Amino acid sequence: MVGMHLDLSGKTALVTGSTQGIGEAIAVSLARAGARTAVNGRRPDVVDEAVARLREVVPGADALGVAADVSTAEGAAALVSALPEVDVLVNNVGVFGPRPALEITDDEWRRYFEVNVLAAVRLTRAYLPGMRERGWGRVQYIASDSAVVIPAEMIHYGVSKTALLGVSRGFAKEAAGSGVTVNCVIAGPTHTGGVEDFVYQLVDRTLPWEEAQREFMRVHRPQSLLGRLIEPEEIGNLVVYLASPQASATTGAAVRVDGGYVDSILP
């Protein structure tokens, strides 16, 4: 059996919201696979720093930065103007935060849909036609276990991620038969920036990190079959596979990298 080599050389990939956390890990993973990788964020200085880190981690990487707020129509248009053609679009940008359900205002609901849903819709609308014309492309949406298990403390976030599942399936039908695949990635509880502080708010601070996170998962996230937090690189690995030619028969799917957190055979 020949080993699988995921090679994205010659492809241009764009990852929105990729200056930190999961988005940054995805950008690094795509660059390692040989893709020309565009890092995106709102602030030029932060984008430049993320591009520098990527080049340090992946020597020789073909990386560029595009600063634009894709949650607005103007920002999305500016990004597309700066980067008119991509082969792999990863819609990762998103916001989240706890709020009592009955206290979520209309403006907050609108903000969550602008950032978490409409940003992805705008960029898909901009880039999918070119992918179809070229007969190859990959569109991905980074969703969450919260899309399926709506968290009581932030239903606006969960509902926005549920919407992405429908957006992904709908655009997959639009791309049917064209050589372009469209998929959702359902990410589970992930080890990112402030998560360690959050974990240590709930478990003994004297525990080493590996023990602390497993205790946190055992007590506070018992649904997980992994028993630990997911590393951002593990999400990046799945994104690279779905972006590769080897995933040509996977489209219209919601693919889970959730450590078995969602207690369901299907998402």
Q: CB neighbours (10 Å) of residue 99?
A: 16
- Flag residues of the chain having pLDDT under 50: 1
The pLDDT assigned to 97 comes to: 87
The pLDDT assigned to 197 comes to: 85
The pLDDT assigned to 1 comes to: 40
Active site residues: 157
Would you call 210 exposed, middle or buried from its count of C-beta atoms within 10 A (0-12, 13-18, 19+)?
exposed
The pLDDT assigned to 251 comes to: 98
| CATH assignment of 12-190+233-256, among 3.40.50.970, 3.40.50.300, 3.40.50.720, 2.60.40.420 | 3.40.50.720
The pLDDT assigned to 98 comes to: 86
Handedness of CA 255, 238, 126, 143 (dihedral sign): positive
Query: Which DSSP string do the residues of 163-181 spell out, in sequence order?
Result: HHHHHHHHHHHHTTTTTEE
Domain with CATH 3.40.50.720 in the chain: 12-190+233-256
